[in-house]
Structure 1
Amino acid sequence: MAESWIFSDGTVPASPAAALAMLQERTDAGQLETWLTSSHGHSLAIIMNAKRSMIMLLDDEDDSGEHAVTPDAAGRSNGFMLTNGQHDEYPDQDTVPLPDALRIVDHILTAGIPPGETAWSADT
């Protein structure tokens, strides 16, 4: 059975493409933190600022997860605003550029796994 995804607010997208479009709409509206849960128990978090995204993938609620990285990136980026009002700053190596983020999220929503060429770091 194919993995399906649901937004944390209960919205069920009709397809991975619809989910990606909804993610873009939410981001355009200023909702920079989005969580999705899959029918297989996975959780996917996307936290964006104007240029970069923190993408976390967790196997289940007890998993500390892993996140997409850009190992050769230098510097830090701020402006990652969480829904609870918290403003985060991350090293750029712990985030990915927005165009890459959308491609990564699309692959996870479609295939259930990250794209093979994406670097990931396990969170502990």
Structure 2
Amino acid sequence: MVETWVLGDETVPTSTPTVLEMLQERIRAGLLETWLTSSSGRSLAFMSNTERAMVIIMNDEDDPGEHAMDQDASGSSKDFVLVDGQHDEYPDEDTLPLAEALQVVNHILTTGAPPPHVAWSIDR
């Protein structure tokens, strides 16, 4: 069975192209934190500051998960604004440029697995 994904508390699965379009619309609207839940119970978190994004996959709500990395990046980026209004700053190595992060999400939603060419930090 193919894994399907829904946005937040919605119950209708969302197609991959729709998710990618929705992520871009949410970023333009200043909604920089988005959570998706899969039919298998996994969660995918996408947090952006409009230039970079953190992509996290968790197996369940108690799982610290794993996140995509940019091992060649240095420095840090601010203005990751969470839904609760919290402003976070992350090391750039723990985030990806926005376009690459969207490609990672596309790959995960399409195949169910992270792309093999992207480094991941296992936070478990």
Could you say which TM-score interval applies, normalised by the shorter chain?
A: over 0.9
Query: Aligned-pair distance for 1:68?
Result: 0.4
Contact 2:32/2:50 (8 A) holds in 1: no
Q: Indicate the residue corresponding to 2:111 in structure 1.
A: 111
SS of corresponding position for 1:102: helix
- Unpaired segments ≥5 residues, structure 2: none
User: Could you tell me which amino acid in structure 1 is paired with residue 65 of structure 2?
Assistant: G
Shift of residue 78 of structure 1? 0.2
Determine if the alignment matches structure 1 residue 62 to structure 2 residue 62.
yes
Q: Deviation per CA, 1:77-110, whole angstroms, max 9, x where unpaired?
A: 0010000000000000010000100100001111
User: Who is 1:91 aligned against?
Assistant: 91
1:120 to 2:120 alignment: yes
Q: Secondary structure at the match of 1:67?
A: strand
Over aligned residues, Cα RMSD in angstroms?
Answer: 1.2
Cα gap change, 1:102 to 1:11, in 2 (>3 Å): farther
Mapped partners of 2:114, 2:26: distance in 1: 22
2:79 is aligned with 1:76: no
Displacement after TM superposition at 1:13 (Å): 4.8
Structure 2: which amino acid aligns with 1:98? L
Q: What percentage of aligned pairs have identical amino acids?
A: 57
Distance in structure 2 (CA, Å) of the matches to 1:28 and 1:13: 23
Q: Which runs of 5+ in 1 are unaligned?
A: none
- In the TM superposition, structure 1's runs of 4+ consecutive aligned residues that sit over 6 Å from their partners are none
Query: 1:5 corresponds to which letter in structure 2?
Result: W
The Cα shift of 1:111 comes to 0.8
